[in-house]
Structure 1
Amino acid sequence: MTRPPTAAQRRLIETADPVTGRLHGTEHQLTALVRRGLAFRHPRPPHDHFLTPAGHRIREAVPGAPAEPAPDTPDTGVFAARVGGEEKPPGPGPARRREVHGAWQGLLELRRMTNPDGAADRPCGWERAHLVRAAALALEAAGHRPAGGDADGYRVRATPQPEAVAVHAPDAETLTACAATLERAGWQVGEYTEPRTRARYLLASPRRV
């Protein structure tokens, strides 16, 4: 039976980057996580260490680690893509755009590192485990406006369907643009009608091949 990580290793895992899983620690600490299969050393310089899927699972079980954000989740100081409709959204501006761009580039690198064939054109395991956050990041990084305050825009929501999120938009043009962005980001997208309200929405799932 595999021994659980030590308290020191858990602290290292808990403070990993929430999107890329990049770790910071001494060479001895990082090597110990690699031996346990909880981290891997990137083959390219500067040879940073990142959490494996097993490491991400442990991180999400650590008390205090950020979970899937709800629309009314307050700002905790940890980056989270705008899902639309947040009660206290982060302020817009150059700093937010840089933050979103950095998170998207980090996610593309995570795809290259963790997809079996190194492909960056389709979602990776982390995205399949964080569907709402992943879809929202793709939309925000592409410049789409999320709903919030006096502005109406996209809203990304979880669904009962496995590996699928719903994306709502205020008009057909915005909905079509969101669909195109998600398809370019490696998602399979279909447009549907809500039976009760007759509103159109997208159902998006991460593409596997």
Structure 2
Amino acid sequence: MTRPPTAAQARIIGAADPETGRITGSSAQLARLVVLKLAFRHPRPPHAHFLTPQGHRLREAASGEQPAAAPSAPTALSGPSAPDGVFRARLGGEPDAGLSPARAREVRTAWQGLLEIRRMTNPGGAVDRPCAWERGRLAESAALALEASGAAPASGERPGYRVASTPQPEAVAVRHPDAAALAACGAALKAAGWQVSEHTGARAERWLLASPRRA
């Protein structure tokens, strides 16, 4: 962005939902905010508009809120959240994977960005299945889908999901100590466009094998 938003644009940004970043305004106003990279249009009907991380930062600065580290795009989907503000998908096992409103917003923004990548790169603009970008980052993409669904990663003594790569091409393993939570992880991945099968390990523990669906 080369210049600050107009007063009308600032009012739209200031009135955004603080959690989801959803904004309302005229078609022309919303389109201009998209051009300024302060908002994006959701690819699914009703095609609502939401603030980008840059738009969130402007809203927080204007309202005096403490800014949260927000992702600019889901370009670094690995490891814990970093002080540089780059979004990191949580595979499970990170020592400080706290659950906070700021983290929830980061995850929502990253997931919306990933859906936009699907729309732009999948044949026919399909957003109901993973894209090539995700197939190059299997564990991180699966972890983002899980966290976006509301599942919590394992952290310290807190139980949660764990995602790991496998020797099988284009497949990841998902584990959770709770059977019901593991089933919920499977349902979340299926809803995100992954093929999921359940297996039993050497110690009778249940785990999931998940692969990105192609069609």
After TM superposition, the score normalised by the length of structure 1 is: 0.64
Matched, 1:206 2:215: no
Match of residue 69 from structure 1: 78
Cα deviation code 1:98-124 (max 9, x no counterpart): 100000000001100000221000000
CA distance in 1, matches of 2:36, 2:132: 21
Match of residue 168 from structure 1: 175
In structure 2, relative to structure 1, the CA distance for the partners of 1:107 and 1:67 (3 Å cut) is closer
Match of residue 40 from structure 1: none
CA distance in 2, matches of 1:74, 1:165: 21
Matched, 1:183 2:172: no
Q: Counterpart of 1:85 in structure 2: which amino acid?
A: G
* Structure 1 position 86, deviation (Å): 1.2
**RMSD (Å), alpha carbons:** 2.0
* Structure 1 position 197, deviation (Å): 1.2
* Structure 1 position 151, deviation (Å): 0.8
Q: 1:168 touches 1:200 (CA, 8 Å); kept in 2?
A: yes
Percent sequence identity is 59
In structure 2, relative to structure 1, the CA distance for the partners of 1:138 and 1:181 (3 Å cut) is same
Q: 1:75 touches 1:88 (CA, 8 Å); kept in 2?
A: no
* Structure 1 position 46, deviation (Å): 3.0
Match of residue 106 from structure 1: 113
Match of residue 88 from structure 2: 80
* Structure 1 position 75, deviation (Å): 3.0
* Structure 1 position 82, deviation (Å): 1.2
Match of residue 46 from structure 1: 35
Q: 2:81 touches 2:87 (CA, 8 Å); kept in 1?
A: no
Q: 1:156 touches 1:167 (CA, 8 Å); kept in 2?
A: yes
Q: How many residues align?
A: 144
In structure 2, relative to structure 1, the CA distance for the partners of 1:158 and 1:180 (3 Å cut) is same
Q: 1:104 touches 1:137 (CA, 8 Å); kept in 2?
A: yes
* Structure 1 position 93, deviation (Å): 1.0
Q: 2:142 touches 2:163 (CA, 8 Å); kept in 1?
A: yes
After TM superposition, the score normalised by the length of structure 2 is: 0.62
Alignment of 1:187-198 (within 5 A): 187-194=194-201, 196-198=202-204
* Structure 1 position 68, deviation (Å): 6.5
* Structure 1 position 67, deviation (Å): 6.5
Q: 2:135 aligns with which of 109, 128, 131?
A: 128
Q: Counterpart of 2:157 in structure 1: which amino acid?
A: D
Q: Specify the SS of the correspondent of 1:110.
A: helix
CA distance in 2, matches of 1:203, 1:174: 15
Q: Specify the SS of the correspondent of 1:204.
A: strand
* Structure 1 position 152, deviation (Å): 0.1
Q: Counterpart of 1:46 in structure 2: which amino acid?
A: V
